[in-house]
A and B are shown apart, each in its own frame.
Chain A
């Protein structure tokens, strides 16, 4: 300092100690009020920065893990022979213990009665023994000749009708996963219409009415279908077919890359529903006939193939000269294939070879019931798994928010699941409807956009974010409080000493 300090303060300046806000009490009150504000604001800060995590019914969901759905199947044999009933019963049970996967969730129950008609209303399957007729099915009835060779094979027939889905029946996971809505996209693709002899149109509306609608209407309880169709005039292949003597062949390896997804536009992307594609491919007139080759290079009879879970393809070699529109006979062949492919993609089981079908309904009650049971069990399992994983993820990822919409969907899925378990014994259709509802709600809860977890935010990031914000404000406050505390302690000590001196 340039000037020496004055011995005492001039009268124009006031002693800092005399300033009213420097009085001990007021100064301490000011510091304390800062601290009070901070402490009062803490709950607000906590509330605004914490993530909304509503509690889920976890214990009830954990209980689902042990809740395995059993769908009862009542079979009534119209006979008075008690031994036959026992025989069929024990054979079915033996089959169930041999292949538990095939019978998972199915509980067959065999009864014998002279008049099975009274069980028909409750959805029971009735086996009638009639001499002189071939084995056939009608509604939920199985008519079987009463000779001994048939009755001994009865258990096997019943197995293939009731539990048709074994490990060998769907080796490639051909059947699409359940969805309440599907889109069916039918495409007529000309490899190169400019080469001449192209098929320029098809009577798609009539064909769909005749071949596809019977299936979709029969399955209307399970799925909703939207149908779209298109005709394309230039749809090149991504590979060159092999030229044989008089035919062109597609190698087995090329079949997997037959669909030229880079250049074919196969469906509109107007919705998020799964699409099943059906393609009628007309080879260019310069490459006809086009056939599918076997591994040894010989051509196959079949010109239709199926891509698991994706759709079906039929190659049609029209005769020259070609009609501009597909003739009805060709349409019949093509759409019979499409109908076949559609049923196998949707998982409609194939009837055993030796069974005749009475009605022209297409899909029999036996098949529809088997499919409904399969979908019910799938949905129940899917719903249970989804609910369990929601609970698991919410526990595991601490930053994952759980909003009211998620909680409501989870509750809804859970109650639908319980209703399904209750109605399983009375009505299959109802059990299916509730299983689908439960699955859809559980999936919606899982995919709720609000459930996106906050990003990984470790402790050191917390320091890094908060210290520039709070350290500059908190450290002076902390130090001020510390100094006041020390000053207060010193004062008290001096005061005590003074008092002691006074007493002495």
Chain B
């Protein structure tokens, strides 16, 4: 945390209202939010999708995206009203006194220019430094951001640098003109957890060194806890509450704020079991010549949840493709109830297909947009169990009730459902086949916290009621803790570790598990500080 705080007000946003144009109508995006930021202060803006946090962050620069406009309020930066002045005057603040860090560094850097030229562009333009000085300064910034080959990396093009490094180069770009304010717009959301730690640490370090004020936008409370002095919670374009970080974490006032980290409140007690329903043994799988799965062995017990956890590219989703028969492995076999399943989908019997069902991450593309809920759920029901007519309709209604939806949903199209409802319908579609094993591939990753909680609770209840076994593929450790009995840790196509949840989450750990687990941000504001100390 920062000590040398300077109480002079840097930014004052008063009763900001912003509207956006969509579907031939103006919609209210920000409905009157005020914000005050002192010099050197870091404020976290947190909220779920549709909260308007990005819009508000950009509004701090006096900027709205095309199709949006200010309809009320004013932004006063260092005594000057940004909303009043013509754009060419406002532009003199951008890139020099206020800078911006975007979510996807890969997209935000111009592919046609070397990094160094983009990093120093606004510093040189505003004549703060000449080109040579600015370049030397950028190299020292690269160094303090712990970028490898700091003197050389600037000569590379964006596509030649990895995502985590690019994000740090962008931080250098934002810092190069020594701004008074930096707007961070979800800068680590696209990164894997182990990379996120390095980027977070680097960003915090430079912000602290130069005593820059910042607005840090994210949907992840534990990330913002590491970065911000104060936190403001937004929802549907309105402010829910604002408080000092430690105070907010300890005693949030509003119900909504509490729900933001509610998934962590589910803690399914693990249950040991010896009866194996599904087993992968000695699996080697390839995409072309790329070895995706290397001698993978895992076991799933009756009525239990096996969580498969790993970062992007670890091969965890490929395991689902092998189990379902979409990808035939080169070696090894999948056994269901002690019988070897044919490797290829087309060789499996209807009965075998029925017993293993799948739920996907993106419910949007997992449902045919041209079919109604009745068609989507009814088809597997009639296909596998042969029921038709009135019986089928009753079965669909029964399934809808099981997922906490009523029969009024029966003739809706997917586009008429919310994100959580879509995922529920997908669950009902899997249930309709009366399966014994359900593979859940990142089913909660695309959803907001509160909706995630609802889906996870539903899955747990269904497991109890119907004695289902789950394979739960995820990158999110909190979800693993919430739902699993056993855990498999994957890295680069290999199983790092497998065992009961209690065993995996308590030391001693193999190196990778240790790195992975320690990289998951915690709600504790001192977590990053302590972690860096430990690692050093």
A binds B: no
